[in-house]
Amino acid sequence: MAFPTTSVGSRAMLGKSVVAAAPRGQDLRVIDMRVLTTDDWKLWRTLRLAALAEAPYAFGSRLADWQGAGGREQRWQDRLAIPGSQNLLASLDARPVGMVSGVPTGEDGVVELISLWVEASARGVGVGDALIRAVERWARSNRATALRLAVRYGNGHAVALYRRHGFEVVAGADVVENGQREMVMVKPIDPR
């Protein structure tokens, strides 16, 4: 955690949970986590296009691949309908600012964290932490034993965030995505 977080409780309601974070003595901010369905594809599209435009250094997908002919409604709905996946949207003080997905892999017990993004103005207040914790909860509820991700070399903020959450680099497991080298990080999931 980058700063002390004050939790004023959490509640589960139709896939929502609410936590509150108090960054460095400032006003209490409310982070709301919501599970998306295919009906939410426009909301997902808005955030994902913003992510690809703002942080092209972080993703294998390119903005142009999801615009024009590549940005059909069906394609966005299919993205949200990956079997066994969960897609989450985070709001900060009721404004959508972040996203992440948990998706299955071909490997037994191993699930993957993808598409993590927090809008620049909402960074540093715990939204990334909340998104990662939510994916971990999803992984645990799916009886996964490990959560994996790939992150580009040089994406220091993301790597620091993942390390804080207990992810470790898997030596010799680098992958190349769109010509960019990525390290693979894994966190064992405690079945508690």
Ligand X SMILES: CC(C)(COP(=O)(O)OP(=O)(O)OC[C@H]1O[C@@H](n2cnc3c(N)ncnc32)[C@H](O)[C@@H]1OP(=O)(O)O)[C@@H](O)C(=O)NCCC(=O)NCCS
Q: Which residues bind ligand X (CB under 6 A)?
A: 2, 55, 58, 116-118, 123-124, 126-128, 151, 155, 157-158, 161
Closer residue to ligand X in complex, CB, 13/92: 92
DSSP designation for 122: G
Closer residue to ligand X in complex, CB, 25/191: 25
Minimum CB separation of residue 106 from ligand X in Å reads 20
Minimum CB separation of residue 39 from ligand X in Å reads 25
Per-state percent for the chain, helix, strand, coil, to nearest 5 = 35, 30, 35
Minimum CB separation of residue 116 from ligand X in Å reads 4
Closer residue to ligand X in complex, CB, 38/50: 50
Closer residue to ligand X in complex, CB, 80/114: 114
Select from 134, 131, 42 the least CA-distant residue to 79.
Answer: 42
DSSP designation for 189: P
Minimum CB separation of residue 69 from ligand X in Å reads 25
Contact by Cβ (8 Å): 23, 31? no
Closer residue to ligand X in complex, CB, 143/164: 164
Contact by Cβ (8 Å): 128, 98? yes
Minimum CB separation of residue 191 from ligand X in Å reads 25
Select from 15, 38, 58, 32 the least CA-distant residue to 158.
Answer: 58
Sequence-ordered list of residues with C-beta below 8 angstroms from that of 97, at least 6 positions apart, any chain: 90, 91, 118, 119, 121, 122, 127
